[in-house]
Amino acid sequence: MANNEESRGLKSLFDWFANRRKSGSTSLERQEREIADGLWHKCSNCGVLTYTKDLRSNLMVCVECGHHNRVDSDERIRQLIDRDTWKPLDEHLRPTDPLQFRDRKPYSDRLRETQEKLGLIDAVKTGLGQINGLPVALGVMDFRFMGGSMGSVVGEKLTRMIEQATQRRYPVVIVCTSGGARMQEGMLSLMQMAKISAALQRHQDARLLYIPVLTNPTTGGVTASFAMLGDIILAEPKATIGFAGRRVIEQTLREKLPDDFQTAEDLLQHGFVDEIVPRTQLKNTITQLIALHQPVLTPPHMVLWETMSLTSSAAE
């Protein structure tokens, strides 16, 4: 009799464990399904699950650890530009295959497949808009399009945008994210570095503001040109910023590099970046910088009065 009761007790215990495991498995499957459906987002840094709607309202920054998730160009424009003020520029420009380049597949096929998959023409969107009511020319790179690589279209669109901004006397903001120049276009991609830099020099000669925002990652020819030519250079926290990759530098120097090498924090410490700005504060920070640098026409008598005041204060 006792043996029968013990057997029933053990069976109940085994059934309880089996049901618990099955319930846990079902819960895990449901969780994975909801992540796949986009309802939840699992942070790649801390692993915390966040309701996607809440994550978007926090500008794709993890509410638990502050990790800045990568965002596409459309999302970035929505985050920065005031509603109904965005006017795209040069949307008709399309990349071609002048070198008839082929690696594992023809460059022309790679372009077409990427365009169809993402609904993008190339790796940058440019336009005019307003940031908290202040006019601005904005360029936003998109890492999804061939690693945000800089080809002829990227260079041409950014150059035209800067020239429009110079003509209209608008400040320029470029959100950078790139693996560098696009190898499939060879020297044609490398010359975009000089072309964009020349346009920025003319913009600077007109005493107008240029702010690059360096996001994760910003590397290669983009870093070697317009990403580092800003009047004020901003970066997102923990963004990878550099020219050559860590492995290449370590092999060249035959040294082990620090763990924080090529991070935004490391560049700030060494003077390559002016400020690290969390994404949730980026729009207001850019607004303040533009407002401070807007050209102000001061009447001559005010200039004389201010000069006299400064001289008097210095004498005291």
Q: What is the 3-state secondary structure (H, E, C) of 53-89?
A: HHHHHCCCECCCCCCECCCCHHHHHHHHCCCCCCEEC
Residues belonging to the binding site for Zn(2+) are 43, 46, 62, 65
Dihedral angle of Cα 65, 66, 71, 77, to the nearest 10 degrees: 150
Beta bridge partners of 53: none
Mention every residue, 6+ apart, whose C-beta is less than 8 A from residue 81. Answer: 127, 129, 130, 131, 136, 138
Residues 6+ apart with CB under 8 A from 243: 219, 220, 223, 224
What value does the CA radius of gyration of the chain take, rounded to a whole number of Å? Answer: 26
The tokens for 77 are 């424009």
Nearest to 243 by CA among 266, 260, 219: 219
Q: How far apart are CA 77 and CA 16, in angstroms?
A: 53
CA–CA distance, 148 with 133 (Å, rounded to integer)? 29
Report the C-alpha gap between 165 and 128 in whole angstroms.
Answer: 8
List residues forming the annotated binding site: 43, 46, 62, 65
